[in-house]
Chains A and B, each alone.
Chain A
Amino acid sequence: MKKLVIDPVTRVEGHGKVTINLDENNKVKDSFFHIVEFRGFERFIQGHPYWEAPVLVQRLCGICPVSHHLAAAKAIDQIVGLNPEDLSLPAQKIRKLLHYGQIFQSHALHFFYLASPDLLFGFDVAPNKRNVVGVAIEFPELAKKGILMRKFGQEIIKMVAGKRIHGISATPGGVHKKISAKERDYFLNGEEIPSIDTMIEWSKEIINFIKVYHSKNSKWLDEFATYDSGHLGLVDKKTGFLELYDGNLRAIDALGNITLDDVPADDYQKYFYEGVEKWSYLKFPYLKHLGREKGWNRVGPLARINVCNGISTPLAEFERLVFTAASGGKTNNMTMYSHWARLIEILHCAEMMKELLEDDSILSNDLTRRGERRNEGIGIIEAPRGTLIHHYEVDEKDRITRCNLIVSTTHNNEPMNHAVRWVANNVINNKPEVTESMLNQVEVAIRAYDPCLSCATHALGQMPLEISLFNHQGNLIDVKRS
């Protein structure tokens, strides 16, 4: 048996590894996407006072700390006796502004820096060109817009939370920092950085780019890593529309049948189990009533667009209708459409940021509330990569006694393994030679999910790409390093 190893997977956040086992005739026997690092945040946060949770857990990640900060904050709000709707309206709006800024910058980073090289250059171009520096050389105007869009989102985060990475905004029951008119106007007037209106225009432009790209490359985009799956996401409690900050949990199967019918997020434990495998530190969440085989779901942009009834902002809603029409109005199980869905969310976030920035109530001093103390809190939000669950229990001395985190990438563990299996079976299977292009396609399939493996576990140190080839006796016969 031969063993192909991609370690680490590149242009993703964190450290993952792929193993593909081949027999003597290069027929794929099995494949795995492993998460090989261990972290243990759930354990070491125990004993800390509950109010430290939003500050500590955001250290899970340097890319999406805001998502962890806010999910933990929503949970801690419950411990001080407040449900999401009990917070002051200014506090809710400021948190949402922070959240939309985070998703906007994270999606921009993923599309422009990580994913666009695959789309712009294709699988067969040399790896030393297939990266963001290559994009900067060949497509400088696109690269410049990508840089400034990410910067805009980061500046929003900096305004609300004090700094771009690991800032602090939320406190139990609200937010601690008031926004000044001067700070707000910075994003509206376009004098110092491109304005929010420019962000909306550029978001529309990049959606037009991806639509044209799909029209020219429909065959491979429609077929590549396409497989049936469930889809999970939050939806608005009243309208069933796309909801990123607070809503009900909805899941559908590959045909669009409801499998989780708008249940309150706080009830997640009634519906989910987490499976384990000995070859990965990452768990495998699934819906209890459907079982381990059928109960797994994709999360993230594609899933969210699939499960929602609509989008509240007009420009993004128009693009959702175009997107839905592309799959004939059916549930979209085509993995590569994740990029298109992600860009629709970029536009939605830009529209929402404009609405919030133009709302003078975000300048209010009415920032915190208090209620009746509870011993348990659950916070669920839609992080850039999908549904993020934080759950804490505390004792009478305010110390955390139990913590459960189900991060977005954990939900996508089974889907990413399916993606790897699809490429192994359809691209690598029975080929006389395994090329770099083939191996990159494994990564392209994983990359569509924008996995954040740092959140799921941990990543330290240098991360060169290393591919090791073993013969059927398990002996190493070749190593390629990028």
Chain B
Amino acid sequence: MLKEVKHKGIVFGIGNTGRQDDGLGWLFLDHLKSKGFNKYDLEYRYQLQIEDAELISRYQNVLFVDASKDEIEEGFYTKICRPSEKYSFTTHELMPETILFLAQTLYHAKPEAKILAIKGYQWELKNGISKKAMINMKKAEDFLLND
């Protein structure tokens, strides 16, 4: 049997800190840690993996945090994430919806899941988050911590 998880929920920070604002997901988790956030388990990912389906099957709540190139007026948004069998044809891109679908199909698990998208602006091969993205991240962080 697999070990019981520590918390009821898990937060995935997804991205690459070597690509400027793509690192928003990781930075978000860093900030949560620095503020003593301990309601959820925290996991860093360059990209989601198929085995994450097994991991989330043991939680009641899942939050996927990722940077977004979309126009987002408020700087961030949350939306409910529903299972979907949509699958890209490489191992390099696996959507949160697909992970939920696999958790449901393989493990009969239906955690409540949300996506937190934070708007980013710069995506070059450099370290460091842009000032505008940092403002968006702090708004998202305040929202989560006060939710």
Closest chain B residue to A163 by CB distance? B44
User: Sorted from nearest, which 4 A-B pairs have the closest CB atoms?
Assistant: A192-B3, A10-B89, A133-B87, A151-B51
Evaluate contact between A482 and B3: CB separation under 8 angstroms: no
A128 contacts the other chain (Cβ, under 8 Å)?
Answer: yes
Instruction: Report the minimal beta-carbon distance from A7 to chain B, rounded to whole angstroms.
Output: 12
CA gap between A303 and B3 in the complex, in Å: 39
Residues of A within 8 A of B88 (CB): 463
Report whether B106 and A459 are in contact in the complex, using a CB–CB cutoff of 8 Å: no
Q: Verify A128–B91 contact, CB threshold 8 A.
A: no
Chain A stretch 136-194: residues in CB contact (< 8 A) with chain B: 136-137, 140, 143-144, 147-148, 150-151, 154, 165, 191-193
A-B contact pairs, 25 of them (CB 8 A): A10-B89, A11-B90, A11-B91, A13-B91, A62-B46, A63-B91, A109-B91, A128-B87, A131-B89, A133-B101, A136-B102, A136-B106, A140-B105, A143-B102, A143-B106, A144-B106, A148-B51, A151-B54, A154-B51, A191-B1, A191-B3, A192-B2, A193-B3, A463-B89, A465-B89
Q: Which of chain A's residues 445-482 have a Cβ closer than 8 Å to chain B?
A: 459, 462-465, 482
The residues of A that contact B107 with a CB separation of less than 8 Å are: 144
Instruction: Assess whether B53 is interfacial by the CB under 8 Å rule.
Output: yes
Supposing A165-B46, A193-B2 touch, asked if A147 and B54 sit within 8 A by C-beta, the answer is yes
Residue-by-residue, is B25-58 near A (CB-CB < 8 Å gives 1, otherwise 0)? 0000000000000000000001000110110000
Residues of A within 8 A of B70 (CB): none
Q: Pick the most buried of B46, B88, B91: most chain A CB atoms within 10 A of its CB.
A: B91
- What distance in Å separates the Cβ of B13 from its nearest Cβ neighbour in chain A? 14
Give, as a whole number of angstroms, the nearest-CB distance from A113 to chain B: 6
A242 CB–B CB distance under 8 Å:
no
Supposing A133-B85, A147-B51, A165-B46 touch, asked if A113 and B98 sit within 8 A by C-beta, the answer is no
A240 at the interface (CB under 8 A from B): no
Which residues of chain A are within 8 angstroms of B92 by Cβ–Cβ distance?
Answer: 459, 463
CA distance A127 to B90 in the complex (A): 12
B90, A463: Cβ atoms closer than 8 Å: yes
Whole-angstrom distance between the Cβ of B19 and the nearest chain A Cβ = 9
Per-position 1/0 for B103-145, Cβ under 8 A of A: 0011100000000000000000000000000000000000000
**Contacts across chains A and B counted by CB atoms under 8 Å:** 66
* Interface size, A (range): 20 to 34
The one of B3, B89, B98 in contact with A464, judged by C-beta atoms closer than 8 angstroms, is B89
Q: Which residues of A contact B102 (CB under 8 A)?
A: 133, 136, 143
Are B87 and A131 in touch, CB under 8 angstroms? yes
A99-115 with Cβ < 8 A to chain B:
109, 113-114
B55 to chain A: closest residue by CB: A151
Chain A residues with Cβ below 8 Å from B50 are 113, 132, 147, 150
Contacts known (A143-B106, A192-B3); A150 close to B51, Cβ less than 8 A:
yes
A113 cross-chain contacts in B, Cβ below 8 A: 50, 91
Beyond contacts A114-B91, A192-B2, A463-B93: 4 other A-B pairs, Cβ-Cβ < 8 A, are: A62-B46, A109-B91, A193-B3, A464-B89
> With the chains together, A419 CA to B96 CA distance in Å?
35
Shortest Cβ gap from B17 to chain A (Å): 12
Query: Residue-by-residue, is A1-37 near B (CB-CB < 8 Å gives 1, otherwise 0)?
Result: 0000000101101000000000000000000000000
Contact status B89-A133, CB under 8 Å: no
What residues of chain B lie closer than 8 Å to A109, measured between beta carbons? 91
B1 to chain A, nearest CB (A): 7
**Which residues on the A side are within 8 Å of B93 (C-beta)?**
462-463
Whether the pair A140, B106 counts as a contact (CB closer than 8 A) is yes
Q: How far is the CA of A11 from the CA of B98 in the complex (A)?
A: 16
The A-contacting residues of B in range 41-91, CB under 8 angstroms, are 46, 50-51, 53-54, 85, 87-91
B91 touches A133 (CB 8 A): no
**Residue on B with the closest CB to A141?**
B106
